[in-house]
Structure 1
Amino acid sequence: MANLTYFATHIPGRTIQVEGQSYRWLGGTNYLGIGEHPLFKEKLKQGIKLFPQNWGSSRKNNVQFLVWQDLENLFAAQYGHEAAMLCSSGFAAGQIALQFLLRQQPEATYSLAPFSHPAISTYLHAPYDGSRVDWIKAVLEEKPVLLGSDGIRTPWAELFDFSWISQLSPKQYLLVDESHRIGVQDIRLTSPAQIIQTASLSKAYGIPAGIILASKAMIEEIKKEAQWIGSSPPNLAFCYACLHAQEAYQEQQAILEENMEYFQSRLTNNAIIWAKGHPSFCLDNLTIIRRLEEHGFQMNQFSYPRWNDPAIARASVHATLKKADLMELSQLLQS
């Protein structure tokens, strides 16, 4: 399967223009299509009026903005944590949280689940070379102090069972990258271990920012880290829009859930790799990929996460798609 590149003039919503032709767009991780919602657009305009440029300064600058604190409090409350802290990106959030844990536990082993995102790894800490089942078994037997995992496997769509974390101890730390679940699925995790969840907010939430969710004590300590203090803050205008357009997010989440149920209920004898309750799916059948293109659908097709990985065809059922799109799509996916 080949890598494909398109040069777009605007962010795709329901459709994308490719070489002068309009296609229904299945690619990207813009799960909620929040940029299409009138309320989000209105609040973003207000945000740009209040904050017409990026604020590129230290996070400990003596000039601070309440919009960051208010948005952190909102995310902490929504996802069942005592506190939260914003970062410039999801990758920054993962790395800042991980480096903090490694410095706090310099002698500890960091055990990283298979297929975990580079945001929660280092060149010294590669993902486990084996199945997730074997990794969980090893973790429960060896009891490493630091653990890392994605909330869902990507780009191949696979849901993870986290019931095993009830067997962890209070002396252990579990770092979870929730970039592809936050805003789409419930990410709350319960365990005796200390839970730290990080995420990109540029996917479902559509803003250039990342988030770290943890206990109040841990967030206070991470905010003392030079990596966070010296990093750029997230864009104020987009944070303002996210904070004040929560009704838009709720509406888009309801549409997405309805679209997923409608689409997934019609999947029979299909050739896709998908995770029930999540909008993404993958294909490795070139005949069906060509069939979709011939009928006006386009999706992502590129190597990930390494440049020389085999190209993957990945699609998502966005909130912007219409029922007619989903019915046609489900019919075209029959193997």
Structure 2
Amino acid sequence: MLEADYLPGRTLIHNGREYLYCSGTGYLGTARNPAFAALLAEGLSRYGTNYGNSRNGPLRLRIYEEAESYLAHHTGAEAALTVSSGYLAGQMAVKALAGAGRFEYAPGTHPAAWLTEHAPMAVSKLSFDEWAADLMQRLQQEPPEPVVIVSNSLDALRVQRYDFSWTQHLPADRPITLLIDDSHGFGVIGPDGAGIWPELRVPASVRVVVVSSMGKACGIPSGVVLADTAFIEDLRRSPFFGASSPVVPAYLYAFLQAAGLYQQARAQLQANVQQFTTATSGLSLFQSAPGFPVFYTLDNGFAEYMQEKGILLSSFCYPTPADPCITRVVLSALHTAEDVKRIAEVSRAYATEKPAR
């Protein structure tokens, strides 16, 4: 672990040595994008550094409704609601669904979408596809009782895009809610970074709720809930919403002005992903998913080798120090073609030298 007193961009300087930084979740590089910083400065000038109030207070800032209208239109959802973090978005939604039925959790569901501190998780030995098949079989065989199905949109740790085509066959004889945490997908996957929402196909009787952090690809300290209008209005009336501080409005201002910047960053990111995928094909070193900028390896020794070569990977025990180490190459839109070439070359060198190590 290296210490720093600033947030890295594409590189990190430590003890006079420069490292390529291939960690974190800032996939679009927004947090270190000077053009975005300029938009944020405009927002800070207009709205100040914070809005210390409830959105149910006497002052109504139009930027919130403007951002939520944009998010709903951009994703295809009926309505959207912004809150101060992705974790709050998940907890607000899941608490609102507490009485909506029995909870069924997919493997690896993020704690933000847990109803209780120690949620009953799916059998760890099951893959996502196996879990989905098992769930569908049980739903067809059991009495038609209400169910809340909770899942991530993808596995950002071991890198797998989940197939949700089975959800179009969910039974229509009972109330079913599908709650998906799209924190790692929003801004990266889907048309123009719209995330998982446009891909979902469910019977008309199934309620869909998508929650997401906007602090990853989009680079702003915010969370969003996407759902039907009735559910969003219920959230607006909830104590969770009324008692919580809203998103700092300057960030929403920058977000709304930055559509072109996000588009450019996504194009650069996809070019980097394609370049790295092509350059490392045949290595049998990585597990990856089409279009996703993270490359997972079971070989934790890879991180030490890369650091020796001046490339800092994401490699640490997650989610607690007692859990297994997760080692990944994380690309961002800040990386140049030369950066990607270097990362791929060192990866190939490791794969070649490994038998002798």
Question: What is the CA–CA distance in structure 1 between the aligned matches of 2:255 and 2:5, rounded to whole Å?
Answer: 24
1:37-76 alignment runs, 5 A limit: 37-76=33-72
* 1:143-162 deviation line (CA, Å, top 9, x unaligned): 36100000011322111111
Shift of 1:43: 0.9
> Is 1:22 matched with 2:15?
no
Change (3 A) 1:84 1:215: same
Please tell me the residue identity of whatever aligns with 2:244.
S
The aligned counterpart of 2:170 is 168
* 1:158-215 deviation line (CA, Å, top 9, x unaligned): 1111111111145210000000000000112121121110000000000000000011
The aligned counterpart of 2:108 is 115
Greater shift, 288-297 or 80-89, is seen at 288-297
RMSD: 1.6
* 1:256-294 deviation line (CA, Å, top 9, x unaligned): 111111111222214122222100122332443233222
Question: What is the CA–CA distance in structure 1 between the aligned matches of 2:171 and 2:24, rounded to whole Å?
Answer: 38
Q: Assess if the C-alpha contact under 8 Å between 2:106 and 2:121 holds in 1.
A: yes
Change (3 A) 1:65 1:300: same
The aligned counterpart of 2:159 is 157
The aligned counterpart of 2:123 is 129
Q: Assess if the C-alpha contact under 8 Å between 2:300 and 2:315 holds in 1.
A: no
Please tell me the residue identity of whatever aligns with 1:214.
A
Please tell me the residue identity of whatever aligns with 2:111.
P
Question: What is the CA–CA distance in structure 2 between the aligned matches of 1:114 and 1:321, rounded to whole Å?
Answer: 32
Question: What is the CA–CA distance in structure 2 between the aligned matches of 1:324 and 1:270, rounded to whole Å?
Answer: 23
Shift of 1:140: 1.1
Q: Assess if the C-alpha contact under 8 Å between 1:12 and 1:25 holds in 2.
A: yes
The aligned counterpart of 1:329 is 343
**Structure 1 residue corresponding to 2:213, chosen from 196, 200, 211:** 200
Q: Assess if the C-alpha contact under 8 Å between 2:180 and 2:210 holds in 1.
A: yes
**Structure 1 residue corresponding to 2:182, chosen from 159, 178, 184:** 178
Please tell me the residue identity of whatever aligns with 1:45.
A
Give the gaps of 5 or more residues in structure 1: none
The aligned counterpart of 1:211 is 224
The aligned counterpart of 1:190 is 201
Question: Per the alignment, in what secondary structure is the counterpart of residue 98 of structure 2?
Answer: helix
Give aligned pairs, total.
Answer: 328
Q: Assess if the C-alpha contact under 8 Å between 2:315 and 2:325 holds in 1.
A: yes
Question: Per the alignment, in what secondary structure is the counterpart of residue 52 of structure 2?
Answer: coil
Q: Assess if the C-alpha contact under 8 Å between 2:314 and 2:330 holds in 1.
A: no
- Identical counterparts, % of pairs: 30
* 1:36-65 deviation line (CA, Å, top 9, x unaligned): 434312210101111222112223112121
* 1:217-245 deviation line (CA, Å, top 9, x unaligned): 11111111111211111111111111111
Greater shift, 273-282 or 203-212, is seen at 273-282
Give the gaps of 5 or more residues in structure 2: 140-145, 191-195, 352-357
> Is 1:83 matched with 2:79?
yes
Q: Assess if the C-alpha contact under 8 Å between 1:157 and 1:280 holds in 2.
A: yes
Question: What is the CA–CA distance in structure 1 between the aligned matches of 2:322 and 2:51, rounded to whole Å?
Answer: 36
> Is 1:98 matched with 2:94?
yes
Question: What is the CA–CA distance in structure 2 between the aligned matches of 1:114 and 1:47, rounded to whole Å?
Answer: 40
Question: What is the CA–CA distance in structure 1 between the aligned matches of 2:207 and 2:347, rounded to whole Å?
Answer: 42
Q: Assess if the C-alpha contact under 8 Å between 1:282 and 1:315 holds in 2.
A: yes
Question: Per the alignment, in what secondary structure is the counterpart of residue 149 of structure 1?
Answer: strand
Please tell me the residue identity of whatever aligns with 1:151.
S
1:247-266 alignment runs, 5 A limit: 247-266=260-279
Shift of 1:318: 0.5
Q: Assess if the C-alpha contact under 8 Å between 1:288 and 1:332 holds in 2.
A: no
